[in-house]
């Protein structure tokens, strides 16, 4: 949700997804299994609360530590559905698995799949995901670039302290579960001011500073 939909920079998920698609494109064969297992299978609520906890401790604990502190396992993901999909497709592949995570190799083998080889997909750390990648590397992930240190980003204000989930005053149907700083990669949406205003956005559009030679760009 956060990385692939919103474009957050505090992990490497979307880069791994795009990297896998690029490898499959170059090899001209392959399968992308997209499993809906947010936050290592603990769900978005658990993931967001873990991220808030890590941020509150200024990255001195990892998401693995945060899950443990909340009474959860470090990984709830299951790969049995891959076996079922292969059965439906009537294929029995010998996988060249694109991953940095030894647990995924073990999970696939345990599900009855054949892993012939493993290829790493790794991206350089950035100021927002350096601690996250380092914690994965320390937990056994096959990451080399995570050792390259980059200056960390300093939050513009103190992080939010953990709290008990509660219903929102303005709408009791909604539950406030977490609140933390989420760095998002800028998305360029090329529109004129007239087009932006025609969509009902008034007073919240601004120039992004990307010059395209055809007027202003707005978000």
pLDDT tens digit string along 170-185? 888 899 999 999 888 8
Decide if 117 is inside a domain: yes
* φ, ψ of residue 171 in degrees (nearest 5): -165, 95
Q: 22 and 126: one domain?
A: yes
75 is catalytic: yes
Position 181 in a domain: yes
142 with 206, same domain? no
What is the total count of domains within the chain?
A: 2
Question: Out of 59, 65, 68, 77, which one is annotated catalytic?
Answer: 77
180 and 193 co-located in one domain: no
**Residues 187-208 pLDDT 10s:** 766 777 787 777 765 544 333 3
Which residue, 186, 185, 176, is CA-closest to 52? 176
pLDDT of residue 209: 36
Residues 44 and 116 in one domain: yes
Specify if 1 maps to a domain. no
Encode pLDDT of 114-139 as tens digits: 999 999 888 889 889 898 898 898 88
Angle at 138 between CA 136 and CA 142, to 5 degrees: 65
Instruction: Please confirm, yes or no, whether 77 is among the known catalytic residues.
Output: yes
- 35 domain residue, yes or no: yes
Do residues 143 and 194 share a domain?
Answer: no
Predicted TM-score (pTM) of the model is 0.77
Domain co-membership, 176 together with 206: no
Nearest to 137 by CA among 149, 127, 153: 149
Whether 6 is covered by a domain: the verdict is no
Residues 6+ apart with CB under 8 A from 132: 10, 11, 12, 62, 63
Q: Could you tell me if 162 and 96 lie in one domain?
A: yes
31 vs 34: CA distance, rounded Å: 9
- Please check whether residues 168 and 193 belong to one and the same domain: no
Both 57 and 162 in one domain: the answer is: yes
Would you give per-residue pLDDT tens digits along the chain (219 residues)?
A: 888 888 888 898 889 999 999 999 999 999 999 988 888 889 999 999 999 999 999 999 999 999 999 999 988 999 999 999 999 999 998 999 999 999 999 999 999 899 999 998 888 898 898 988 988 988 888 888 888 888 888 888 899 999 999 998 888 889 999 999 988 887 766 777 787 777 765 544 333 333 333 333 333
Write a three-state SS string for 20-80: HHHHHHHHCCCCCCCCCCCCCCCCHHHHHHHHHHHHHCCCCCCHHHHHHHCCCCCCCCCCH
Q: For residue 193, what are its two tokens? A: 């001011």
Q: Do residue 69 and residue 129 come from a single domain?
A: yes
Whether residues 162 and 66 share a domain: the answer is yes
Is residue 4 included in any domain, yes or no? no
Domain of residue 76 covers 13-185
For residue 190, what are the contacts with CB-CB under 8 A and spacing of at least 6?
212, 217
**218 and 118 belong to one structural domain:** no
Q: What is the CATH number of the domain that holds 75?
A: 3.40.50
Instruction: In whole angstroms, give the CA distance from residue 79 to residue 106.
Output: 10
Q: Which of 10, 12, 75, 217 is catalytic?
A: 75
Q: Return contacts of 147-151, CB within 8 angstroms, 24+ apart.
A: 148/124, 149/125, 150/124, 150/125, 150/126, 151/127
């Amino acid at each position: 949700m956060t990385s692939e939909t919103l474009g957050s920079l505090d992990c490497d998920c979307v880069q791994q997804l795009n990297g896998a698609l690029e490898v499959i494109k170059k090899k001209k064969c392959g399968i992308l299994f997209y499993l809906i297992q947010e936050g290592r299978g603990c769900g978005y609520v658990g993931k967001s609360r873990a991220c808030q906890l890590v941020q509150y401790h200024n990255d001195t604990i990892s998401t693995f530590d945060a899950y443990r502190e909340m009474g959860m396992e470090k990984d709830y993901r299951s790969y049995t559905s891959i076996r079922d999909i292969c059965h439906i497709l009537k294929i029995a592949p010998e996988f060249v698995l694109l991953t940095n995570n030894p647990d995924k190799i073990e999970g696939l083998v345990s599900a009855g799949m054949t892993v012939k080889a493993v290829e790493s997909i790794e991206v350089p750390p950035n100021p927002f995901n350096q601690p996250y990648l380092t914690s994965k590397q320390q937990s056994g992930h096959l990451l080399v670039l995570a050792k390259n240190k980059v200056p960390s980003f300093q939050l513009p204000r103190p992080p939010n302290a953990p709290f008990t989930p509660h219903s929102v005053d303005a709408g009791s149907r909604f539950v406030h579960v977490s609140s933390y700083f989420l760095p998002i990669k800028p998305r360029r949406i090329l529109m004129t001011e007239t087009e932006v205003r025609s969509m009902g956005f008034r007073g919240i559009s601004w120039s992004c500073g990307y010059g395209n030679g055809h007027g202003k760009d707005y978000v």
